[in-house]
């Protein structure tokens, strides 16, 4: 089984250090981990380091599988709308990244499957520039999934989606992770989504890893007070599952 380990990961933009010393043992294939933390904490920067899109100290180790250009795939937070491509072309382009340009029939079938699974096959021949933010987010997910990565880094993938789509996408991703043994890391703001869908959670605060472990042991009243500066309760819902209930923002 594939496993991902981070060892002393850091990053800087110019001379400004924005991330330091993030270490994590063995995230296993099939697991879904939430990356949470306030705005500008360094979540996207951590993803870019893991995907080798930026350089910095530390080691990203992917074991138990052959390393290759397709192994780690980053789905960015802002999916550009300026492309002149259609949805279909953009997914095909992503599929062909790092390989030759010859397109096999099976690859076209795979693209149809992914677009259908995400219920965006009706958009296949629309231009990317003509889509809503939520539709673009689903296309970005199709572009990532078509590459069948071993590690999928999703940066706030549900931020522009309606509730139905949010639940649909999170269920879909957790199912695929289990089915294909993919390691999924998701940057999330909705902590109830983290509690519901992610077995592990990593908290990034001010460029450092403030906590990590089983989600229910990481998302606590104290963490919400210290990191998010909110007054909140973790209560059990009628089905016995933990839920965050926010009472207010703390000042001072
Ligand atoms: N390309 C960049 N150049 C300079 N500073 C950046 C750049 N990208 C992000 N930063 C800064 O790095 C810090 C962490 O940003 P980011 O990783 O995007 O945070 P998050 O995803 O947690 O909101 C912020 O202070 C942000 O302003
Ligand atoms: Mg971000």
Is the domain of 196 the same as that of 251? Answer: no
pLDDT in tens, 80-97: 666 788 999 989 988 887
Q: Is the CB of 236 under 6 A from ligand 1?
A: no
Distance from the alpha carbon of residue 19 to the mean position of ligand 1, in angstroms: 9
pLDDT surpasses 90 at 107: no
Together in a domain, 169 and 53: yes
Distance (angstroms) between ligand 2 centre and the Cα of 37 equals 10
Query: What does the alpha-carbon distance between residue 123 and residue 244 come to, in Å, rounded to a whole number?
Result: 36
Within this chain, do residues 63 and 160 fall inside the same structural domain, yes or no?
Answer: yes
- Domain check: are 247 and 166 in the same one? no
C-alpha Rg value of the chain to the nearest Å = 19
Q: Are residues 43 and 119 in the same domain?
A: yes
Nearest-angstrom CA–CA distance, 81 and 178: 31
Q: For residue 224, give its domain range.
A: 220-252
Span 179-232, pLDDT tens digits? 999 999 999 999 999 999 999 999 999 999 999 999 999 999 999 999 999 999
Ligand 1 atom 1: residue of nearest CA:
13
Q: What is the pLDDT of residue 188?
A: 96
Answer yes or no: do 197 and 147 share one domain. Answer: yes
If asked whether residues 198 and 187 sit together in one domain, one would say yes
CB within 8 Å of 207: residues ≥ 6 apart: 17, 18, 19, 20, 41, 42
The number of folded domains in the chain is 2
d(CA 147, CA 153): 13
Closest ligand to Cα 48:
1
What value does the mean pLDDT take over residues 131-159?
91
Regarding whether 224 and 189 lie in a shared domain, the answer is no
Same domain? For 179 and 230 the reply is no
> 235 and 120, same structural domain?
no
Residue 159: name the closest of 19, 44, 31, 48 by CA: 44
What is the token pair recorded at 14?
Answer: 């110019």
Residues 127 and 228 in one domain: no
The answer on 233 and 154 residing in a single domain is no
Domain of residue 11, CATH code: 3.40.50.300
């Amino acid at each position: 089984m594939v496993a991902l380990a981070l060892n002393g990961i850091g990053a800087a933009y110019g001379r400004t250090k924005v991330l330091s010393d993030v270490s994590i043992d063995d995230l296993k294939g099939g697991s879904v981990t939430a990356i949470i933390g306030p705005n500008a904490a360094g979540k996207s920067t951590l993803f870019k380091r893991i995907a080798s899109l930026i350089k910095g100290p530390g080691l990203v180790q992917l074991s138990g599988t052959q390393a290759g250009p397709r192994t780690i795939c980053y789905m960015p937070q802002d999916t550009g709308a300026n492309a002149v491509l259609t949805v279909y072309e953009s997914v095909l382009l992503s599929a062909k990244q790092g390989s030759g340009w010859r397109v096999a029939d099976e690859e076209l079938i795979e693209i149809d499957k992914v677009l259908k699974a995400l219920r965006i096959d009706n958009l296949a021949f629309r231009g990317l520039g003509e889509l809503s933010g939520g539709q673009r987010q689903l296309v970005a997910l199709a572009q990532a999934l078509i590459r069948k990565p071993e590690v999928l880094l999703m940066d706030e993938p549900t931020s522009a989606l309606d509730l139905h789509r949010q639940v649909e996408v999170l269920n879909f991703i957790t199912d695929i992770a289990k089915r294909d043994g993919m390691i999924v890391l998701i940057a999330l703001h909705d902590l109830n989504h983290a509690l519901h869908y992610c077995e592990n959670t990593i908290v990034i605060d001010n460029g450092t890893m403030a906590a990590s472990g089983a989600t229910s042991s990481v998302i606590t009243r104290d963490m919400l007070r210290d990191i998010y500066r909110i007054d909140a309760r973790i209560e059990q819902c009628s089905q016995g599952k933990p839920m965050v209930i926010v009472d207010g923002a703390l000042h001072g």
